Structure 1
Amino acid sequence: MILDLVPLAIFDASQFFSWFVENANYWFVFIFMIIESSFIPFPSELVVPPAAYLAMQEGSSMNIYIVTLVATAGAIVGAIINYYLALWVGRPIVYAFANSRAGHALLIDSAKVEKAEAYFDKHGAISTFIGRLIPAVRQLISIPAGLARMNLGKFIIFTGLGALVWNAVLAGLGYFLSRFVSLNQLYTTIEEYNVYLSYIGYAIGILCICFIAYNLLRPHPEKKA
């Protein structure tokens, strides 16, 4: 459930959703996706699907393709923030923050950071792409990339591609729901579909890993001299 993703004492998802639907524009999509992609816990399901839904309404000032691109740009900026924070402060301070009250208030702990680091170590640079599709890893995968001083250009490319795929899935959900769900039912319907979004993310990630493994393991014909 979307409501389980953030502390209720800090954030009321349903109230935000109502406010966002009434005030949605490209700038808000960009800003909230920066927040979503940084270390602050914020569900992208509250931003991209409703923005895409609204973009499909007659007379809308938004375009669903631009919504997807703007959301991706915001995700890249938020990821760069995490990258540089990790790069500048280093591992001891990252873990100290993760174990602090402030870190716990933001739903971060050392176990989650360790999980993101292990994922990065296992899959290398491509993990910044695949990690953008995996719940609980998506927001934190930029931290081990910064700690490892991953090439920034590569980081932006892989992060951008992963974010683009995920935002396209979310925008696709908004498009799909615009065909048969009323605006009053939109929030509860997105809540119901949220678990399937997680499954889709896992499935795409697994397919990517299988494709990469296949290319690495398949025999390559030797080049003739």
Structure 2
Amino acid sequence: MEQFIESTINQFGYLAITLLIAIENIFPPIPSELILTFAGFLTTNSKLTILGAILAATLGAGLGAAVLYWIGTFLDMPTLAKLVDSRLGRILHLRLKDFERAEYHFKKHGRLAVFLGRFVPVVRSLISVPAGMTKMPFGTFMLYSLAGAGIWNTVLIGFGHYAGKAWKQVMVVADDFKIIILVVLALAVLVGLGVHYLKKNKRKQAKSTEI
């Protein structure tokens, strides 16, 4: 698979990045880390640019997420369980526990799960299904999906670019780096919520003093 991905990106450039990332979003076993870091490396010795590779990858992520969201609008958990147990489900290596995990995160965190899910393998794909099942507004879903995907793509493509010929080593530390990103983002969200709460409180206090 590694050779196929490398030769496809080498031959078709941005189009290959978009299509491969879209497919990776729909079929989780395909490694996005390999696609993105190799694309980053190619920006050092081909006509590909970092910005172009990021945009192509983010477009692909959006397309893949939209397809799974659309599929989710036609599903419920019993139907999903039947699909997983079917021959097609076995061919695609689908597991019900992965969908249940994605559904759990979505029910618990909602929009935040869609955003943070982009940094977690398997969840980044499957989180789109419960979003579709619960009829989350499509515009909101895409906004959070593209924001998360854009950050993840930027990080890995950037790593691939600066690692140069050592780009494959980036994948070794990718799992640890995901944890760091999630912690940083979680802290950023908490700080953002805290600031929002304080501003809201100040506005309420200002209004009550005026009265």
Q: Under a length normalisation based on structure 1, what TM-score does the superposition of the two structures give?
A: 0.80
1:203 aligns with 2:188: no
Deviation, structure 1 residue 134: 2.2
Cα offsets for 1:25-47 (capped at 9, x unmatched):
00000100111112453111121
Cα offsets for 1:173-196 (capped at 9, x unmatched):
112212xxx3xx543x23423323
Cα offsets for 1:155-189 (capped at 9, x unmatched):
111111011011011111112212xxx3xx543x2
Query: Does structure 2 conserve the Cα–Cα contact (< 8 Å) formed by 1:51 and 1:174?
Result: yes
Q: Aligned equivalents of 1:215 and 1:37: distance in 2? A: 34
1:50 aligns with 2:31: no
Structure 2 match to 1:106: 92
Query: Does structure 1 conserve the Cα–Cα contact (< 8 Å) formed by 2:119 and 2:152?
Result: yes
Structure with higher helix content: 2
Structure 2 match to 1:7: none
Structure 2 match to 1:175: 161
Paired residues, number: 205
- The equivalent position to 2:72 in structure 1, one of 68, 86, 89, is 86
Query: Does structure 2 conserve the Cα–Cα contact (< 8 Å) formed by 1:95 and 1:113?
Result: no
Query: Does structure 2 conserve the Cα–Cα contact (< 8 Å) formed by 1:20 and 1:47?
Result: no
How many percent of aligned residue pairs carry the same amino acid? Answer: 30
Higher relative contact order (CA 8 A, sep 6+): 2
1:154 aligns with 2:127: no
Deviation, structure 1 residue 142: 0.4
Q: Aligned equivalents of 2:186 and 2:51: distance in 1? A: 26
Query: Does structure 1 conserve the Cα–Cα contact (< 8 Å) formed by 2:24 and 2:31?
Result: yes
Larger radius of gyration: 2
Structure 2: give runs of 5+ residues left out of the alignment.
Answer: none
C-alpha change, 1:22 and 1:192, in structure 2 (3 Å) is same
Structure 1: give runs of 5+ residues left out of the alignment.
Answer: 1-11
The alignment partner of 2:125 has SS state of: coil
Cα RMSD of the aligned pairs, angstroms, is 2.3
C-alpha change, 1:155 and 1:203, in structure 2 (3 Å) is same
The alignment partner of 1:88 has SS state of: coil
Q: Aligned equivalents of 2:34 and 2:27: distance in 1? A: 17
Q: Which residues in structure 2 correspond to 1:203-222 (within 5 Å)?
A: 203-211=183-191, 213-215=193-195, 218=198, 220-221=201-202, 222=204
Structure 2 match to 1:32: 20
Query: Does structure 1 conserve the Cα–Cα contact (< 8 Å) formed by 2:28 and 2:121?
Result: no
Structure 2 match to 1:192: 172
C-alpha change, 1:16 and 1:193, in structure 2 (3 Å) is farther
Q: Aligned equivalents of 1:208 and 1:140: distance in 2? A: 24
Structure 2 match to 1:122: 108
The alignment partner of 1:89 has SS state of: coil
